Structure 1
Amino acid sequence: MAQQPIVAFLYDFDKTLCTTDMQNYAFIPSLGMTPAEFWKEANEFGRRNRMDGILAYMYTMLREAERRHLPLTRADLVEKGRGIVLFPGVEDWFGRINAFGAEQGVRVEHYVISSGLREIIEGSSISGAFKEIYASEFYYDEQGDPVWPKLAVNFTAKTQFVYRINKGVLDVSDDKTLNDSMPDDSKRVPFHNMIYVGDGLSDVPCMKMMRAYGGQAIAVYQESNRPGVEDLLAKGRVDFIFPADYSEGTVLDTTVKDIIRKMAVTDRLWEENAQQLRSIGGDVLPNQVGLF
């Protein structure tokens, strides 16, 4: 019996699932700073020191907390994730989409690929919906204090996690298996069964991968970033753009369900073709978009 096909959703987090940068809700106010003040400080620090922007903001978090003698343990950051504000419909989106996928004969999985902090995401009400959360993260000592960046996910580094999901090599410390050669038909989640959801230029490398390898790229927007998202569509960098409303019956909801239907049908047709080829001793080709 053929293995049940997997459809994987890959999400950015800030301004894709929640309304602003995740640090803005609780962490930055705890410093007595405005988001504009904090990000200006972090960005200028990074430029002065020719530092990766993600490492610069992580260092700025530690430095500003230390200056104010504020605790900054892993538990503190997780707690600050409780204040994240999600877009409409996000709370029940995952359960609805999983159920719809099951109706179509596919298993749906959800992943985060974010330049934000894993610790804050884990404090959100939806953290349990994800098979894996790939995001920037600190390494903590025995007292729970951050001492070093454990993972820094900048915009181009996001693409490695797409490959990890594709091959099913989810452990970030396992580079050997990730780089091992693997036949296309043995990869756990084919690229053409992936849907990437983001909100802007920082997501373009992953969106480009989706479009190059047969997956789908979706950009969501608020009115504040609508022009930028429309530009992505005009330049062919995304397949679809929608308001950031995940509620049942929205255009985003109905289009995603149509995409899942298409992926499910493509997988069924490929499996039928493969069975016929096996029955006559023919060669089974990798499942590719456009094969049918």
Structure 2
Amino acid sequence: MTGQRPIIAFLYDFDKTLCTTDMQDYAFIPSLGMTPAEFWAEANGFGRRNRIDGILAYMYIMLREAERKNLPFTREDLVEKGRGIELFPGVEDWFSRINAFGEARGVRVEHYVISSGLREIIEGSSISHEFKEIYASEFYYDEAGRPVWPKLAVNFTAKTQFVYRINKGVLDVSDDKTLNDSMPDDSKRVPFHNMIYMGDGLSDVPCMKMMRAYGGQAIAVHQAANRAGVEELLARGRVDYIFPADYREGTGLDETVKNIIRKMAISDRLWEENLRQLRHLGEDVLPDQVGLFSNLNP
């Protein structure tokens, strides 16, 4: 969008990308008297036996097991269980550092979550206020505060719709009409080439492939347990970079992200200068020209 500061959007998976394991593992599953291995085996098995989407299956098992054990299950209770989420090193101050770095280079940085985990639990984390929007699975609650229906279920392929929402600036998940309206490439709020997706594995591949296809950047972070899988993503050309999940200043992840921001900021300035010169000559920028420039913008 011309005449405004360019926006660079960071899109994050959450589990094992910003925090160390599945968010339910920290407090919710132990409250059931189950181990994470027991819970996920039950949820995945239930889904396979009944041919239920895996996200809906785990949401149902959460409800069922809490009811069987007469445990409270309210939105407030789930948010509270998010307080115990353990973040990777450097995540706490990552957002303010990256925002300031972008600001110094004339761009505005925004952060979004696109997760198959639960929005309620993410909201309890110490970093929930850092995100412009949190797209994650969520329950709908009745007047008494009881969960009665899935409000949103974000499976792995469904994640891509939220990339389009961020691209167009149509963040309300109930607004499908505006999302599907035709919109010139140069009027989209966050161009794909100004997006950086950060994930940890196969569940992120659809979004990572979008980034690589449309000019954005895809980064996979890893712990020791999933390093081999992440290396395979790099070898197969599904991500641009891989790093240990260490967000502290001066790490390889931190330095590479800053270089990407530099590159995106320079590309946006060149784009603006190109359009300025064309308009100065009195030439209209035709849609096919804009599309050409978008493809050339790294």
> Given the two structures, how large is their TM-score scaled by the length of structure 2?
0.97
Could you report, residue by residue, the CA deviation over 1:124-174 in whole angstroms, capped at 9, with x for unpaired residues?
000000000000000001111101000000000000000000000000000
How far did 1:289 drift? 4.8
Amino acid at match of 1:144: G
**2:172 corresponds to which residue?**
171
Tell me if 1:43 matches 2:44: yes
**1:159 corresponds to which residue?**
160
Amino acid at match of 1:44: G
How far did 1:290 drift? 2.5
**2:59 corresponds to which residue?**
58
User: Aligned equivalents of 1:291 and 1:50: distance in 2?
Assistant: 43
Tell me if 1:141 matches 2:142: yes
User: Aligned equivalents of 2:181 and 2:269: distance in 1?
Assistant: 28
User: Aligned equivalents of 2:7 and 2:294: distance in 1?
Assistant: 15
User: Aligned equivalents of 2:189 and 2:283: distance in 1?
Assistant: 23
User: Aligned equivalents of 2:272 and 2:183: distance in 1?
Assistant: 20
User: Aligned equivalents of 1:87 and 1:6: distance in 2?
Assistant: 26
How far did 1:42 drift? 0.3
User: Aligned equivalents of 1:251 and 1:242: distance in 2?
Assistant: 7
**1:189 corresponds to which residue?**
190
User: Aligned equivalents of 1:256 and 1:204: distance in 2?
Assistant: 19
User: Aligned equivalents of 1:213 and 1:282: distance in 2?
Assistant: 27
**2:266 corresponds to which residue?**
265
Q: Is the 8 A contact 2:159 2:207 kept in 1?
A: yes
**1:204 corresponds to which residue?**
205
**1:290 corresponds to which residue?**
296
Partner SS state of residue 57, structure 2: helix
User: Aligned equivalents of 2:262 and 2:80: distance in 1?
Assistant: 38
**1:127 corresponds to which residue?**
128
Change (3 A) 1:106 1:60: same
User: Aligned equivalents of 1:73 and 1:144: distance in 2?
Assistant: 6
How far did 1:283 drift? 3.3
User: Aligned equivalents of 2:31 and 2:130: distance in 1?
Assistant: 28
How far did 1:202 drift? 0.2
How far did 1:282 drift? 1.9
Unpaired segments ≥5 residues, structure 2: none
Superposition RMSD in Å: 1.0
Amino acid at match of 2:77: D
Partner SS state of residue 59, structure 2: helix
User: Aligned equivalents of 1:134 and 1:168: distance in 2?
Assistant: 14
Tell me if 1:113 matches 2:84: no
How far did 1:122 drift? 0.1
Amino acid at match of 1:30: S
How far did 1:288 drift? 1.8
User: Aligned equivalents of 1:143 and 1:122: distance in 2?
Assistant: 20
How far did 1:2 drift? 1.3
Amino acid at match of 2:294: Q
Number of equivalenced pairs:
292
Could you report, residue by residue, the CA deviation over 1:214-270 in whole angstroms, capped at 9, with x for unpaired residues?
000000000000000000000000000000000000000000000000000000011
Amino acid at match of 1:220: V
User: Aligned equivalents of 1:175 and 1:32: distance in 2?
Assistant: 41
> Given the two structures, how large is their TM-score scaled by the length of structure 1?
0.99
How far did 1:291 drift? 4.5
State, as a whole percentage, how many aligned pairs show the same letter.
Answer: 83
User: Aligned equivalents of 1:86 and 1:271: distance in 2?
Assistant: 38
User: Aligned equivalents of 2:257 and 2:179: distance in 1?
Assistant: 29
Q: Is the 8 A contact 2:215 2:297 kept in 1?
A: no
Amino acid at match of 1:222: Q
User: Aligned equivalents of 2:115 and 2:74: distance in 1?
Assistant: 20
